Structure 1
C-alpha cells in the first residue's frame, strides 16, 4: 500500500461519528447564539408557536404544553413540601402537648413510684416506644419499680457519657443485657441525669426500630426534659432519704 493510500485511510472518518460531532457543534453554536441574543424569539415570535418537543410519555408537544407540564411538576413538588411541613408541625404540636402533660404529672407526683409510673406510661403508651428504664448511681436503698435497672451500669456511663449528656443509636449486646435484660432493643436514647457536677444516673428509652434513634436527632425538647426530670427526681429521692 502506498504512502498516499495510508494517508487517505487515516484521514477517513466514520460518517456517523462526523454527524455526531456536527450535532454537538451545532448545539453549542445554537446555545451560544441564543445566550448572546436574548431578544431572538422576540424578533421571531412565529418560531415559538411552531416549536415542538419530544416527550417520552406524551409524544410530540408544543412549547406551551411543555411549559405547562414543567409548571405542574413544580406545583406538585411545592404541594408535597407544604404537606410535609404541616405534618412535621402537627407532630411537634402533639409532642409538645405530651411533654407538657407529663411535666404537670411529674410535678404533682406524690411519691417516687407514681413519678416513675408517669414516665413509663408516657414513654410506652403516648410516645409508642418500647420501654423506659432508670439507672441510679446511688444503690444505698432498694427501689421497687419495674423501670429501675438493677445491674451495675457504671461502664455504660463511662463509655457513653464521656463528653456528652446524650447517646443516640444502638447498644452493644452486653449493654442491652445490663439495661434492658431480655427485652428486644432496636435503638436507644440514653439521657444522663445530673445535679450540679454529680451524675445521678441515666434514663434509657428504647425503640424496636433500629433506625428510630440516631445521632442526628435534635435535643431541644430533651434538654428541657433532662433538666426538669433531674430536679424533680432529686426531690423524690430526698423524700425516701436518698
Structure 2
C-alpha cells in the first residue's frame, strides 16, 4: 500500500520546470502583468515546414531592435560619464591657471596637471620667442624653422591627433622619449595665429587618433594660451 505524501513534501519532489509550469497554470495572467519578460523569451511558432512565420520574424526583429537600443543607451551613458570626468578635469585646470603667478609657474603647473589628471606620459610646450633667463627648453627662439613649419599644419585651427608622426617630428617634440610615445595630440596655442604648441604623448596607441573629437583638446589649448598670455611680454 502506497502512502500519499503531504502537499508540502509533494511540492519538494517537483522539478524546477514542473514548478514553473504549475505556477504559470495557476497564474495565467502572469505575462500580462510582466510583458517585458516576453521579449526575452525564445518562443518557436510552428508552421509545419522550414519557413519562419511572420509573427516569429516580427518578434525576432523587435528583440534585435531592443538589443540595439540597449547597447546604444549603454554607450550614451558611458560617454556622459566620460564627459563629466573630462569636464571636471578641465575645470580644475582652469582654476589652476587662474592661480598661477608667473610664466614658469604656469608651465610647471601645466606639466603636473596634465600628467596627473589626464594620465599622460609626455607633455611638451613649445613657445615662440626668446628663452627666459632660466633658459627653459620649452621656449624656443623666434627663428626656429621647425616650429614655424608646425604652425602651418594648423590651418584649420584645430588640434591634430594620430599615432606616431614621422621620426624627425617625434624627436623634435619628445627628444629621448620619442620611441616610447605611441600616439600624439598637437594643440595650437592661439586661434588664427598660434604662438605655441602643446604636445601630448602617451604609450597607448589608441588614446589619440585622427577620427576622435577635439572639443576638449581645443578648450584645453585655449585655457593654456590665456594662462601663458597673462605672463608673457
Tell me the residue number matched to 1:70. 61
Aligned to 1:118: 109
Q: What is the CA–CA distance in structure 1 between the aligned matches of 2:97 and 2:176, rounded to whole Å? A: 28
Q: Indicate whether 1:207 and 2:202 are aligned.
A: yes
> How far does residue 85 in structure 1 lie from its aligned partner after superposition?
0.7
Counterpart position of 1:168? 161
Question: How far off its partner does 1:172 sit?
Answer: 1.0
Residue 192, structure 1, aligned to residue 188, structure 2: yes
**Aligned-pair distance for 1:94?**
1.0
* Residue-by-residue CA offset, 1:42-101 (whole Å, 9 max, x unaligned): xxxxxxx762575xxxxx976544443332222122111100110001101110111011
Question: In the alignment, which residue of structure 1 is the partner of 2:76?
Answer: 85
Q: Give, in whole Å, the separation in 2 of the partners of 1:196 and 1:174.
A: 26
Q: Please report how far the alpha carbon of residue 191 of structure 1 lies from its aligned counterpart in structure 2 after TM superposition.
A: 1.3
Task: Please state whether the residue corresponding to 1:217 is helix, strand or coil.
Answer: coil
* Corresponding position: 1:236 with 2:231: yes
Matched, 1:225 2:216: no
On the 8 A contact 1:187/1:209 being kept in 2, the answer is yes
Structure 2 gap segments, 5+ residues each: 1-44
In 1, the alpha carbon distance for the partners of 2:151 and 2:199 equals: 12
Segments of 5+ residues of structure 1 without an aligned counterpart are: 1-48, 55-59
Q: Larger C-alpha radius of gyration, 1 or 2?
A: 1
Q: CA RMSD in A?
A: 2.9
2:49 and 2:125 map into 1 onto residues whose CA distance is 65
Which of 47, 51, 62 pairs up with 2:47? 51
| Residue in structure 2 matching 1:180, options 174, 182, 185 | 174
Distance 1:76 1:145, change over 3 A: farther
| 8 A contact 2:121–2:202 mirrored in 1 | yes
**Structure-2 separation of matches of 1:214 and 1:160:** 20
Alpha-carbon distance in structure 2 between the residues aligned to 1:85 and 1:225: 23
Structure 2 vs 1, CA of residues 137 and 223 (structure 1 numbering), >3 Å: closer, same or farther? same
Aligned CA distance change for structure 1 residues 63 and 164 (closer, same or farther; 3 Å)? closer
Aligned in 2, Cα 1:50/1:134: closer, same or farther, shift over 3 Å? closer
Distance 1:93 1:53 in 2: 54
- Structure 1 position 168, deviation (Å): 1.5
Q: Compute the displacement of 1:124 (Å).
A: 1.8
> Which of 1 and 2 has higher RCO (CA within 8 Å, sep 6+)?
2
Paired with 2:128 and 2:150, the residues of 1 have a C-alpha distance of 15
